[in-house]
Structure 1
Amino acid sequence: MNFDENPHRRYNPLTDSWVLVSPHRAKRPWQGQVEKLASDNRPAHDPSCYLCAGNTRANGEVNPEYKNVYIFDNDFAALLADTPQEEYADGELFLAKSESGVGRVVCFSPYHNLTVPEMEEADIRAVVDAWVDEYLQLGAKDFINYVQIFENKGFVMGCSNPHPHGQIWAQSSIPDEPLKKQQAQLKYWQKHQRSLLSDYIARELEKQERVLFENEHFVALVPFWAVWPFEAMLIPKRKMARISDMTSDERDALANAYKRLTVRYDNLFETSFPYSAGIHQAPTDGEEHDEWHWHFVFYPPLLRSATVKKFMVGYEMLANPQRDISAEKSANILRNLSEIHYKNVE
């Protein structure tokens, strides 16, 4: 099969779903929207930013003069801990259940003008440690069964503030995406008594077609079933159900991989590369979850340049996901990019 020329469908064993790949469409001329890039000359401290150290937030609280990672309860959380436990049922077609949870904001750095690829690895490691602590603390609450850690980078991904930060939404139920992955991994585990992703990265390391780089503990790759143009995953080489299972060396390795991947992203079009990224891992429901192999996913929308984006529209919304550039071609482009941030090249 010619992956770079002919239309084909690819299977995603993690979600039991398919993506249509149409590589020949990458040759079509672009006559769609082209935008001017917004200036990214931000100050190290912005007096109007509600995430900067020492500033007052919308609810009147004042941020401390933090020097590293700073975490607080989201002032506009999508989930609330004191939600009344109620259910609504009107036959089989009208169902609703209340959902309790906690929303947290994780400021990665006090410096307003940084993003992850511009941070030092030691400072990124502090973010990793904060994630682990929050996963354990939130997951220990009796009404929390899943902890979703994620980062939206860039206004185009719905990020309302450019200050380097991420979010954590912890809730009573297991959301759809991690639940699908849990079910698929459980099915594979029960059949083979091996981790789906352990077997997957072993094959990817053999093929070296979609691997971007690896360090001692992590593999960075464009998944075979990628939907977004430059989608990527960071997968620990050692099977672990949750990020709290990492050793200190593995936490360092995650910080290293996080920076190396995002530097490549910025270098691709020499812009602050937008993406939504997040960690999928075992629920905090008290079960062992031997089937789980946690992983970090990155979904960036840029396709041809810093101004041409790919979103789920038309066929994707009505049928199933589709992409115009093969995972192999995306991987080759990312793999050959420098690991020195373009802003630091003399």
Structure 2
Amino acid sequence: MRTRQVYRSIGRLADGREIIYYDESPGTGRAEVADRRPLQPFAPGSQLRHDPLLDEWVALAAHRQDRTFLPPPDQCPLDPTSGDRLSEIPAPDYDVVVFENRFPSLAPSPGPLVAADGGDDPALVTRPGAGRCEVVCFTSDHTGSFADLSPERARTVIDVWADRTEVLAARADVAHVYPFENRGVEIGVTLQHPHGQIYAYPFVPPRIERMTATARAHRAAAGTNLFDDVVAAERAAGTRVVVQGEHWVGYVPAAARWPYEVRLFPLRRVPLLTALSDTERDDLALVYLDLLRAFDNLFRDGDPAAPPTPYIAAWHQAPVGADGAPDPEFGLHLQLFTLRRAPGKLKYLAGSESGMAAWINDVAPEAAAERIRAALPSNPAHPGTAPGDPANRQPATRPSEKEQP
């Protein structure tokens, strides 16, 4: 990739929410475009309730019942504003844009961040649902997908993830930053426009807390890092490795829960997206696009009109302390998985998974890895096109504060 720069500028929507444009060229003035909608001031309500049996927090956000649900394409709120068709993005076009979710699960709340009892309800322990939920639109093209992005645009999105991680991790009310993408109505997507989200939790989510505790126990017992050892073991085994770039490796875990699941790790362990070098980000853009296109190819059987593969792409980052510093023992990685187990068939989380959190997989991880490898566009046996040539990559720069009002 050529040397490049991303320009960040910040504006406000009509109800006071923040919108951040990440432009690939300077001087667009997009953040200065006014939101012409007659919106009431942004004042969502969210509450956290403690489950004493699992020692976990559950978010209560009843206002989300009224969120936009699968609108017609010509009414999508994630498209740019065009004439009298007003949307969440006031500008007539954009490269990548981030804004506060209008119907957030977590939002800034007045009051203390400590647990409080429920008054007359002896079983109720609550705290404000403080945090932040953001929407990340990858492209202004309503009909596209992340897999359709150019390597340069994918790299811009990676820079955006890193920039938002840095900004949100520095907040006193944030303990973990989680960028993710839900793709497909089977996953529960309510807007079809290609987009992802970022949750800034005021607590460490159970999955991250479990991994962190396991890593500490592994360090105490073996004297080595858990993430390093797992990646090294999968690379040594080789049979489940599906993709490898200059700086990244992706494999189907030996104990995969989902029918088709890949964990993508940098070869150099880092705790957060912010710690990735320019060359690591360049390589990630290419490897990730190749992997997403392989997932789309899994169930097509040569039919380009086959429905796209539903998936969740979940970035696992280190928890951060009160000072914003990440846990150095944690290894950043992406979990990419689909709940489709065969054409027209889904993996349902039924009694064992939903009731007991005891997983049963219908597809052998080794067989899944073989199918994903065969579906890679960069595989000479597959009639696809690789997303880029590693020999042409060059370092790029992180988002700049230029144009920020």
For the superposition of Structure 1 and Structure 2, which TM-score range results when normalised by the shorter chain? 0.7 to 0.9
- Name the residue aligned to 1:75: 102
- Name the residue aligned to 2:125: 95
One of 317, 320, 338 as aligned partner of 2:354: 317
Change (3 A) 1:145 1:98: same
- Cα separation, 1, equivalents of 2:383 and 2:183: 18
Q: Could you give the per-residue CA deviations for residues 7-27 of structure 1, whole angstroms, max 9, x where no partner exists?
A: xxxxxxxxxxxxxxxxxxxxx
CA contact (8 A) 1:58 1:75 kept: no
- Cα separation, 2, equivalents of 1:92 and 1:219: 50
Deviation at 1:228, TM superposition (A): 0.7
List aligned pairs for 1:98-247, cutoff 5 A: 98-247=128-277
- Cα separation, 1, equivalents of 2:363 and 2:228: 26
How many equivalent residue pairs?
300
Change (3 A) 1:330 1:200: same
- Classify the secondary structure of the residue corresponding to 2:291: helix
Farther-moved stretch of structure 1 (216-225 vs 281-290): 281-290
Counterpart residue identity of residue 71, structure 1: V
CA contact (8 A) 1:186 1:292 kept: no
- Name the residue aligned to 2:332: 294
CA contact (8 A) 2:297 2:375 kept: yes
CA contact (8 A) 2:109 2:128 kept: no
- Cα separation, 2, equivalents of 1:92 and 1:184: 33
Change (3 A) 1:121 1:60: closer
Q: Could you give the per-residue CA deviations for residues 200-257 of structure 1, whole angstroms, max 9, x where no partner exists?
A: 1111111111100100111111111111100111111101111111000111111112
- Classify the secondary structure of the residue corresponding to 2:186: helix
Identity of paired residues, percent? 27
Change (3 A) 1:61 1:328: closer
Change (3 A) 1:61 1:330: closer
Q: Could you give the per-residue CA deviations for residues 55-111 of structure 1, whole angstroms, max 9, x where no partner exists?
A: 599997543133311111111111111243361257985433323111100000111
- Classify the secondary structure of the residue corresponding to 2:298: helix
Farther-moved stretch of structure 1 (94-103 vs 247-256): 94-103
Counterpart residue identity of residue 215, structure 1: G
- Whether 1:326 and 2:353 are equivalent positions in the alignment is no
Change (3 A) 1:175 1:288: closer
- Classify the secondary structure of the residue corresponding to 1:113: coil
- Classify the secondary structure of the residue corresponding to 1:317: helix
Q: Could you give the per-residue CA deviations for residues 301-325 of structure 1, whole angstroms, max 9, x where no partner exists?
A: 10111x2100210222233111111
Give 5+ residue unaligned stretches, structure 2.
1-71, 301-306, 386-405
- Name the residue aligned to 2:317: 281
- Name the residue aligned to 1:30: none
Counterpart residue identity of residue 349, structure 2: M
- Cα separation, 2, equivalents of 1:156 and 1:288: 34
CA contact (8 A) 1:87 1:98 kept: no
Q: Could you give the per-residue CA deviations for residues 105-130 of structure 1, whole angstroms, max 9, x where no partner exists?
A: 00001111111111111111110000
Give 5+ residue unaligned stretches, structure 1.
1-44
Counterpart residue identity of residue 315, structure 2: I
- Whether 1:268 and 2:305 are equivalent positions in the alignment is no
CA contact (8 A) 1:59 1:75 kept: no
- Cα separation, 1, equivalents of 2:162 and 2:199: 14
- Cα separation, 2, equivalents of 1:166 and 1:61: 15
Change (3 A) 1:60 1:237: closer
- Coordinate RMSD, CA, aligned: 2.5
Farther-moved stretch of structure 1 (87-96 vs 131-140): 87-96
Higher relative contact order (CA 8 A, sep 6+): 1
- Cα separation, 2, equivalents of 1:163 and 1:68: 14
Change (3 A) 1:276 1:62: closer
One of 347, 351, 375 as aligned partner of 1:337: 375
CA contact (8 A) 1:229 1:324 kept: yes
TM-score using structure 1 length: 0.80
